[in-house]
Chains A and B, each alone.
Chain A
Amino acid sequence: MDTDLVKLAQNGDKGAFTALAAARADRYLAASHRILRDFSLAEDATQQALLSIWRDLPQLRDPARFDAWSYRLLVRACYAEASQTRRWTPNIRLLPADEPMAADELGTVVNRDQLDRGFRRLSLDHRTVVVLHHYLDLPLDEVAEALGIPVGTVASRLHYAMRALRAALDADARSTTRKAAQ
């Protein structure tokens, strides 16, 4: 975390802001993509978040907390985008069929589809917590800070979300077992 860059950007240094944004934009887009499950919405959310970061940066009181603060603005932008659409468009970009699949625990296309469907069924709140914790690797207290909610609420949402995803995978396993038995 380069607090000097943050301070410069707070004072209107566009070069410093460019450096900060360039180092984070892909990550913001990836996170918002996973939260929103729609690439176009994620692009819009990322754009709005970056603009908000530029506009509101002078209001950040502690430059060392830039990342947590910026994630808050990103999540806020995601929520704003989500509120503007009632329909979740099919999204094949995150899980493209032509992408190479490693022989890892994730295993099969079925698993991916089950996960994707299970993830889409989660509420926005729950998806956000999962992405911040398991994708951005933020500890629970930083997730709480980014969302402005108590740590206990974060833990609760995460527990519920992971339980739902586990159930989605279990349903897939039972289905596969039944097919094999037939």
Chain B
Amino acid sequence: MSTDRDVTTRIVRSWLHEDAHEDADRILNLVLDEIDTTPQRRASWLARRFPRMNNNVVRFALVAAAVVLVAVVGFQYLGNANTGDPMPSETSQPSTTPVASGEPSAPADGSLPVGSSHILWDRSQDGATPNLGIKITLTIPAAGWFGDAKEGTLAKNGNVNAPDGAGLIVFARTNDLLLGSGDVYVYGDPCHWASTKPDSPVTTLDEAMAALSAQASRGASTPVDFTHDGYAGKYINLHVPDDAVFSDCDEGQFRTFVQGDDAPRYAQDPGQFDLLRVLNLNGQLVIFDVTHYAGTPASVLDELSAIVESATLEYAP
């Protein structure tokens, strides 16, 4: 039987390798002529997380690339985040109820329709791989949320900057080369990150929380256990000091972690809160990073809480 298979394999391979005189010179010349008028898409993996960006948003988006930390944390905390008093609860309910009836119409301003489902990294939009190994679907509860179905970000009014921005960015290992992959390394000091990258990545919830809690140059809350969509997780609130001077930091960046070698998550502005809700999806860490500021309106935090709480996760490696 195995011999039959071997013979078939040899025959098929021989047949496939028959010389068919395929000469691509003509095609190559056409392409080389065309690239003169075909601009490259400049490093969009760096910026794809937030499509409507000013410079600061780009900085926020630079973060996104590989590791997915799903910050589904603390909805009630979000409601009280302005006070710096996190009180997340497993049983908390979103203060804004998503509207999901029929097919929502798309607003003219390009924001996501209220009640629509937003799929993170929906690469089918550009014909890319249909299976990223993980699928996260969110429901949009209110108007004014901008996102990119292909890139996996959300921001209220496209603004994630101080003093009142709010947004969600998710990191996870996927199958997609463009989204990246790799382990998460938590820097010892977000300001002096260049010399404080650990030798080993964080691979468990406890390791992630321990590393985040121990970071220098910033404040952090006590990690709390929670579950979301049947997956165990831990969340922690991180705060960038109000008087932090990013220009004094390595390369002017205040970095929390990096996925792989080239996908750092770094802060937008001093005073930024990051609610990191880390889930364990069958051994893969997924990070929801909910970004907001002391000036972010409570109503926006409620919406963000509802979005995070609506997340459904499918894991299919």
Contact = CB atoms under 8 A, between A and B. Distances in A.
Contact of A56 (B27, B41, B123, B180): B41
A45 to B, nearest CB: 10
A99 B18 contact: yes
Contacts of A165: 8, 12
B28 A134 contact: no
A150 B28 contact: no
| Residue from the set A21, A79, A80 with the largest chain B CB neighbour count within 10 Å | A21
B10 A105 contact: yes
B7 to A, nearest CB: 7
A6 interface: no
Contacts of A57: 40
Given A17-B35, A55-B41, A94-B18, A60 B24 contact: no
Interface string B17-42: 11111111111101110111011111
B175 interface: yes
Interface residues of B, number: 58
Contacts of B123: 148
Contacts of B35: 14, 17, 51, 54
A144 to B, nearest CB: 8
A93 B19 CA distance: 10
The range of chain A's interface size is 35 or more
A148 B131 CA distance: 6
B9 A59 contact: no
Given A76-B128, A169-B8, A135 B44 contact: no
B92 interface: no
Nearest to A44: B27
B204 to A, nearest CB: 24
Nearest to A56: B41
A135 B260 CA distance: 32
B41 to A, nearest CB: 6
Interface string B161-179: 0000000000000011110
Contacts of A22: 28
B20 A93 contact: yes
Nearest to A158: B9
Contacts of B38: 51, 54-55
Contact of A134 (B16, B25, B44): B16
A115 B20 contact: no
B41 A115 contact: no
A61 B41 contact: no
A26 B175 contact: no
B26 to A, nearest CB: 8
Given A14-B35, A59-B41, A150-B131, A134 B8 contact: no
Interface in A34-50: 34, 39, 42-43, 46-47, 50
Given A47-B30, A104-B14, A149 B178 contact: no
A121 interface: no
A29 interface: yes
B134 to A, nearest CB: 12
A130 B15 CA distance: 12
Interface in A105-135: 105-106, 111-112, 115, 130-131, 134-135
B132 interface: yes
Contacts of B127: 76, 79-80
Contact of B20 (A33, A145, A150): A33
Nearest to A80: B127
B302 to A, nearest CB: 35
The 8 tightest CB contacts between A and B, nearest first, are: A148-B129, A25-B24, A29-B24, A135-B16, A50-B31, A166-B8, A30-B22, A59-B45
25 contacts: A12-B40, A28-B24, A30-B20, A34-B16, A43-B24, A43-B26, A46-B27, A51-B31, A54-B35, A55-B39, A56-B41, A58-B42, A59-B178, A60-B177, A61-B262, A72-B128, A95-B18, A130-B12, A134-B13, A144-B175, A145-B175, A148-B175, A150-B133, A165-B12, A166-B4
